[in-house]
Amino acid sequence: MKKSYLYLAGLVASLAMAGTATQAVADDEITRGQLMASSCKACHNAAGAQQGVTELSHFPAEIIASQMRAFRDGDRAATIMDRHAKGYTDEEIDAMAAYFGRF
């Protein structure tokens, strides 16, 4: 009988620790938008801003998403952004915009 209680106590403790570990991973999890936005940061950062490239962290997500769609759909003139934007779906654009919109 004591082995059953010991087993049960171990199971409960394991489940409790698993929940804590899962939360820790979720708090530090890299989102898809963050991962995709890492390539954007190569140009759209403070250093790029000194060269005339827009720093994206100053804009709300809605603006970033609308402009990316405008580049992608040919509604906004571009030198290079139209080529970048054509590779993204609406969901991917929204994910990146949401990431940048957090700052």
Q: Which residue's structure tokens are 């100053």?
A: 58
Q: What is the pTM of this model?
A: 0.69
- pLDDT, one tens digit per residue, over 43-54 is 998 888 888 999
What is the DSSP secondary-structure string of 18-44? Answer: HHHHHHHHHHHPPPHHHHHHHHHTTTS
In one letter, which amino acid is 72?
A: R
pLDDT beneath 50, residues of the chain: 1, 5-9, 11-12, 15, 18-25
pLDDT of residue 77: 96
